[in-house]
Structure formats: structure tokens, C-alpha cells
Amino acid sequence: MKGEHLTDEYISINPNAVVPTLVDDGWVIIDSTDIVDYLDKKYDPNSLRPSSSSETGEMYEWMHLARDNHLSIKTYMYGNIGFLTSMKKSEEEMEWYRQRQTFDKELLAFHERFSSLEGITSEHVKEAEAIIDSCFARMNKRLENNAWLAGNSFSLADIAWIPQLVILKAAKYPFENYPNLEAWKKSIMQRPSFKSAILDWLPNTEKKTEKVS
């Protein structure tokens, strides 16, 4: 929110100009999915990945799906949370961004659209919602007879979706349309680690005390 990621210093390590970035023992990792995978591999005790290779493959599939859908989720969020319009970039700021954001063309296109006079339209939100709905229908099916996305326990697959759940919850996405996914979401948000890792860091104090819904 402070724009600390929009500096030449930060972009020199993360050309996407987004958070998070992990710098560890000389390694620079700029994708959140890759970051949690790296940390789980490096700090092996209490690993959060399934034991079988087939379930590990499923874990990566769900992790990559979360990453690949992030712009649709971002569009839904920006189109449904009114105060975010204050984050539009001026033409001068956009020109600065264009010159430096040369790594992710789709992300650049998103900010071009968001910061335009038209902004995120209802049609953009509708298209994004259709993509999210398709993804969540698939997740709802998986969770019909399974408590977690991959294997029989909480894993990196579930972790990869937590930021998306928080974003969509704030944007009042209708999770109730997918009852199995809704139950899974509540299970995640009731974990003690969710409070310490997510709720305690949210800037809005009202969200910290908000009941899981």
C-alpha cells in the first residue's frame, strides 16, 4: 500500500515490481509459489507436501492454478472494492512503470487497464468471475470427498490459495455457491497459523476481529 515495491532498488531484484521477493543465500525468488516450494524443500522438517509422487504432482497442479489465476482474481478484487481506485497510477507514474516493467506483459496490461479513465469495467469483472467460477467448480468437486486439495493433509497446495481466499473474501465473492470449497475455506481460516500469519498482519483492524464467514 505504501508503494515501496515501486522503486528502482526493488525492481532491480524483482522486475515484476510485486511482493513478495525472497533473497536467501544468494538466491532471488520472485514468485510466491516458488518461494513456498523453496522454503519447504530447504527447511525439510515438518514438510507440507504429500508423501507420494502422484499426490505431489497434484499439489503442484493446484499451486500453479492459483498462480495462473491471479490476474483474474486481481481484476475481481479491484472491480469490487471501491477504495482501491485510489491506487490508480497517474500518467507519469504509468510511464515510469512501463519503462521498468518489462518482465510480465500481462501484469503491465492489467495496470494499463486499471489506471485508464475507464478503469476496470463490469465486463472485465464478469469475464474474471467466469474464470474464477470455472476454477472453483473444479475445486469444489475435488473437495467433495477430500478435506484438502492434495493428499490427506494440509499442504502447499492449500497454502498457495490462502492469499486468493483473503482477497476474494474482502471482495465479497459468493463462496456459498461452492459448499465444499466454503467448508475448506473455513477449515483453513480456523487454523491458529492463519491468525498469526494472516490476520495479525492485515492493515484493517476490522478484518482482524472479523468472524470467519
Q: Kindly report, residue by residue over 165-205, the tens digit of the pLDDT.
A: 999 999 999 999 999 999 999 999 999 999 898 888 876 53
Q: Do 159 and 36 contact (CB within 8 A), yes or no?
A: yes
Q: Which letter does DSSP use for residue 14 in this model?
A: -
pLDDT tens string 78-121:
999 877 777 888 899 889 888 888 778 899 899 899 999 888 99
CA distance 63 to 78: 23
Q: Are 38 and 22 in contact (CB under 8 A)?
A: yes
Where are the alpha helices (H) located in 115-189, listed in sequence order?
122-142, 156-170, 179-189
Could you tell me if 171 and 77 are in contact, meaning their C-beta atoms sit under 8 angstroms apart?
yes
Domains identified in the chain and CATH numbers: 8-208 (1.20.1050.10)
Handedness of CA 123, 128, 129, 131 (dihedral sign): positive
Q: What whole-number distance in Å separates Cα of residue 212 and Cα of residue 198?
A: 13
Mean pLDDT of 17-42: 92
